[in-house]
Structure 1
Amino acid sequence: MSATVPGSVANHHYFDRDLDCKAVKLLPSEYYVTTDDIALTTVLGSCVAACVVDLDAGVAGMNHFMLPEDGEPGTRGQVESMRYGAYAMEVLIGEMLRAGARRDRLQAKVFGGAAVLANMTTLNIGDRNADFVLRYLKTERISVAAQDLRGQHARRVCLLPKSGKAVVRKLRTQVDVQSIQREEGELLRRLSAVNKNTGMV
């Protein structure tokens, strides 16, 4: 069973040879909630992914958000709002509860928030994302079972829902690093354009 917020539910299903199982790959601004024995995977630079499980209910979910701040209410579409941590966390937890999870049993593992481009450090996006997700989970009283945040390396994260185990691999190969750097460069350009238009620094 998967969650049903239109447009932002990950839909890239594939067979993961490394994990030897079916998997769903999450892209930025997506999430996925499942009760099936299917791996959830994503690749992170400055973005953060929260992996949340209720092992007793057999419900697990993951999101992938790009920025810590919430979108302004009423000014953004649902998919674009998933870029923002506050909305992405709210949707993920809400869909997990609808799938049968209980808030008092939720456990989280959080990853990402790296500074993979030198000029990303001026905006501190990775640090801000990492700070946000830890603050959010503390406020919501959801325990953090594991974390691998900040640093300079991109990460590939795999969540195995049935066990709640998360596998993290730092990406160091040229192809992986260049791919993430392109994505981060595009994010940086978009943020710079937004900041210019709004007068923000």
Structure 2
Amino acid sequence: MIESSVPLQYFDREFQVEAVKILPGQYRAARGGAITTVLGSCVSTCLWDPLTRIGGMNHFMLPGDTASPGSPWAASARFGVYAMEVVINEMIHLGADRRRMVAKVFGGAQLLSGFDKLDVGAKNSEFVLEFLRVEGIRVLAQDLLDVCPRKVHFFVDTGKVQVKRLGLAPSDPVQKREREYLRRLAVKDGGGDVEIFAKPK
């Protein structure tokens, strides 16, 4: 299941708005304020009901179809599906209507060297677009794939999203955080110790 840690609440001085920062495995649904995150290989979906102005965002690492039976990722492959359903359900609980929801999707960069066969970013991107297509949720904007991290600000009152592409520095904290998250998923779901490595230069 999605991580139970509570998203960080803070006042965003740049935009002068109450905000919540979510990390991999977290989500938030809200009326008003902003929801922010920083993405590498992960994907975030910003969902919005334009009538009630209720919005939600998730941040997931693994889609619903990356793992084969017996893989250490098999028990975790539900993360993308769960991340989508839980944020939709939280929005409905606040008064949103699933039939009115629109989406903007971001992330899926190829940052995790050593994962070429899995290509987490591409799988995440494929998954989220197919999920939204099947569910009949219109995608208003997307910024997916590439090789750069992204910082995303979702302003719930207006449905506006601001995306900033970030430079990739050595020992990038986004890569470090995602690798650590993958390790925790593998151990938590019975995959044992999984070595996550960078390619030789």
Same fold (TM over 0.5): yes
Residue from 26, 32, 47 that aligns with 1:30: 26
Q: Secondary structure at the match of 2:172?
A: helix
CA distance in 2, matches of 1:29, 1:81: 11
Contact kept? 1:65, 1:82, Cα under 8 Å: no
CA distance in 2, matches of 1:55, 1:10: 26
In the superposition, relative to structure 1, how do residues 81 and 151 fare at CA in structure 2: closer, same or farther (>3 Å)? Answer: same
Structure ranking higher in helix proportion: 1
Residue 174 (structure 2) aligns with: 180
Deviations 1:139-181 (CA, angstroms, capped at 9, x unpaired) = 0000000000111001111100011000001111638x61012
Q: Supply the AA of the counterpart residue of 1:13.
A: Q
Is 1:20 paired with 2:16?
Answer: yes
Q: Supply the AA of the counterpart residue of 1:144.
A: V
CA distance in 1, matches of 2:12, 2:133: 33
In the superposition, relative to structure 1, how do residues 188 and 62 fare at CA in structure 2: closer, same or farther (>3 Å)? Answer: closer
- Show structure 1 runs of 4+ deviating over 4 A: 80-83, 187-193
Structure 1 range deviating more: 61-70 or 150-159: 61-70
For this pair of structures, how many residues does the alignment match?
184
Unaligned runs of 5+ in 2: 66-74, 195-201
Q: CA RMSD in A?
A: 3.0
TM superposition shift of 1:81: 6.8
Q: Secondary structure at the match of 1:121?
A: coil
Contact kept? 2:2, 2:83, Cα under 8 Å: no
Identical pairs, percent? 45
Unaligned runs of 5+ in 1: 71-79
